[in-house]
Amino acid sequence: MYSRLKIRCGYTGIVCRFLSSAEISTALRPFYFSVHPDLFGKYPEQQSINEYSLQQLSALIEAQQTRRRLMLPPLQFYLRQKDKPEGDFKLIKIQLNGNDVRETVVKVLNACDMSTTYIDKIPHSPRKTNFSKENLAKSYQEYTDEFEKASYMKKKVEERKAIMDIVEWICENSAVAKEKYDMTSATREQVKSLIRHLCNTYGIKEVKYDSGWNISHIRGALQSLVSLASQHTKTMSNLDGRIIALGQFTGVSLDGDVYLNIIDVRNEWISLIKKVSQEDSALVMIPNYEKALSSILRNIHICRRKFMPKVSAMQYCNHLRQLITSIGDFYGRGSKFASSVPESLSKYEIVVEPEAGPLMLSPTGQFCTPSSCPADELMAFIADHLDEATLLLTEYSINKHVEKALHKEVKERFGLLELHKDDSITPALMISCCQRLLTRSDKLNMNLRGNILNITHYYSVLTEGVLCIPWNFK
């Protein structure tokens, strides 16, 4: 804890011996470079959450330095992880309601599993120093300037890399993409052959995989599965008539597909295949849980969004049960919806997601709630956002048809082999992108022909020859 020291200043009162701005900035530097919003440009949801939480943290530190009391809800941060694939973030929640700057900094670092060695070496004992309002303002400004300087430098670097013209970029990279596509043709054929072998030999209905994986990783995973199957032929009969999916978790999905995590060891795969019928039991319970949840939320429609975090059927059952229990307790205390909420919410949709996630309204008008969300917060959020949800749902119902027509037109006009989009690209964004592509058809037509195009938030040519362009290209 910092020590308190009476100091004669330009005003009357007691001032605390804080960590200096430079000390705070140095101690939190590893944290900033794990959560800074500029590092999450491809992930707008995580970027927005980190930006808001950093603003709250900054306000708290300022309040603590001026001996003001500031109460905050738990702050959420998404952390980049060095040894994990891109996009695999760790979500942490930190409760910071003390009045001690040192304690705040230590709590932040501990929550992120980051070293506190630097701050531990800073003495707790009082240091004789003249501290005034002017000194405090200057010290905090230095801290703010250092943070903003790092952000500014990052922004300038990205601006230099920015593509000024979509036509120029496509012209420069379409041939490269086609060459990469041709170079991976043998790998794709091997993938098809391995899938045919699994389907024909073991009666598997279909083998699919997440598009985010490199094709060579898919081939390696399929080779491992074929090898595993040859050693456990009797067990493989459990997969007769099933759909196998190579993805980011191991378990039975909400659609009944058998998911195998590419990075898992093969023992985990065979363990699931042996007990797959037990996992199926959760699929039978899901409709009952969803019906129960819908009934206590005034017949709201329980949905699953396409890009919701992947979970097994058993995990999803647990999430539904957790939220149902919380809402039941809410009603048991005599609480209820606000009077402004209509008696039926059947025209609205809600998605129940894992515990680590934000309470939010999706761009398509769905209420998205973590299963751990307190019922009173969920009820209040629904009541406050019904008008916005109605507007977004209406917009989506119109846009999805327009998007489908434009998708078909772009694919045919440019002679694309395939046209995809990231999960984060809403119909409205896709419509805007397709319309602007069509206005450049005379310049892009020949260069895009025979390519695979993916609409996302950045420019890139993937190893298997996919052209990635941002939806808001210039």
Helix (H) or strand (E) holding 223, with range, is: helix 215-231
Q: In whole angstroms, what is the distance from residue 96 CA to residue 74 CA? A: 7
* Whole-number pLDDT of residue 8: 30
- Using one digit for the tens of pLDDT, what is the confidence trace for 212-266? 678 888 999 999 999 999 999 999 999 999 999 998 788 888 888 999 988 777 8
Residue 18 has pLDDT above 60, yes or no: no
pTM over 0.75: no
pLDDT in tens, 302-343: 998 755 666 788 889 999 999 999 999 999 999 999 999 999
Structure tokens at 24: 């705070």
Who has greater pLDDT, 15 or 228? 228
Of 53-67, 215-229, 450-464, the poorest mean pLDDT is in 53-67
CA gyration radius, the chain: 27
Tens of pLDDT, residues 258-287? 999 887 778 889 999 999 988 888 888 999
Regarding beta strands 418-421 and 360-361, do their DSSP bridges make them parallel or antiparallel, or are they unpaired?
Answer: unpaired
Q: Are strands 301-303 and 349-353 parallel, antiparallel or unpaired?
A: parallel
DSSP state of 12: S
Residue 4 confidence class, pLDDT cut points 50, 70, 90: very low
Q: Considering only residues 146 and 423, tell me which one the structure prediction assigns the higher pLDDT.
A: 423
DSSP class of residue 40 equals: G
- The angle subtended at Cα 75 by Cα 392 and Cα 23, nearest 5°, is 135
- Answer whether residue 13 shows pLDDT above 80: no
User: Does position 445 have pLDDT exceeding 90, yes or no?
Assistant: no
Q: What is the pLDDT of residue 15?
A: 37
Task: Give the pLDDT band of residue 131 (cuts 50, 70, 90).
Answer: very low
pLDDT at 127: 45
pLDDT tens digit sequence for 144-195? 565 566 565 555 545 444 556 888 899 999 999 999 999 999 999 999 999 9
Q: Is 261 helix (H, G, I), strand (E, B) or coil?
A: strand
| CA 313/CA 307 separation, integer angstroms | 16
Residue with tokens 């701005």: 21
